[in-house]
Amino acid sequence: MLLACAFAVGLPTTVIDGFNAQDIDNRNMGAGFPWTVRVSPDEQAAFDWIRRATPRDAVVQAEPTTRGRASWTHIPSFAQRRMAAGLPISLVAMPYREEAAKQVRSLYGTVDPKEAWAIARRLGIDYLYIDQVEREAFPPDSLAKFDAHPELFPPVFRNATVTIYAVSAGSR
């Protein structure tokens, strides 16, 4: 009887969620976010690589401020890995979240590779994720530091649009 009651209570939500999940063509904006977010084949390949090739407790970081409400959560949602900083929509705004996101923005934005590495190490970041969102948001010089310094940021995955760098455990 208890099981039937629980089933009856949950059924409306399940039906609504099932209906909403099939609506992948709605490209309109919601309240500050798109209703449907596209994930490209290159991004899917990167997320698959992260799930297969990184430890379950790895911290994989994309730049959350630029991504905003639309895609800051791609890493936890699709790659199933933690991030050091994010800007959750549904949680209460907390200064420590905003400060961590500001530090990650500095990590991506600085042209100084040692500064970027120090920020990543301080935040406990194991991998950095870069795709078109970061490439459009940051000057080429600030992102070039990653490829120019494989001793600090060895590239571990690359396809046409996504690059993932490990954060070296080495010393400064």
Q: What is the pLDDT of residues 60-109, one digit of tens each?
A: 999 998 887 777 788 999 999 999 988 766 655 666 778 888 999 999 99
pLDDT confidence of residue 95: 65
38-166 fold: Rossmann fold (3.40.50)
pTM over 0.85: no
> DSSP assignment, residue 29?
B
Q: Tell which residue, 81, 78, 88, has the closest CA to residue 42.
A: 78
Q: Which two three-digit tokens encode residue 163?
A: 């690059």
pLDDT confidence of residue 68: 77
Kindly report the number of other CB atoms within 10 A of residue 75's CB atom. Answer: 24
Share of the chain above pLDDT 70, in %: 78
Report the half-sphere exposure of 113 (CA within 13 A, side-chain side). Answer: 18
pLDDT confidence of residue 105: 94
pLDDT along the chain (172 residues), means of 10: 71 67 63 72 96 97 85 88 80 70 94 97 97 95 96 97 94 50
Residues 6+ apart with CB under 8 A from 5: none
Residue 138: φ, ψ to 5°: -120, 145
CA angle 151, 156, 158 (to 5 degrees): 120
Residue 142: φ, ψ to 5°: -70, -30
User: What is the rounded average pLDDT for all residues in the chain?
Assistant: 85
Question: Is residue 120 a contact partner of residue 61, using CB atoms and an 8 Å limit?
Answer: yes
Packing angle, helices 95-109 and 140-148, rounded to 10: 80
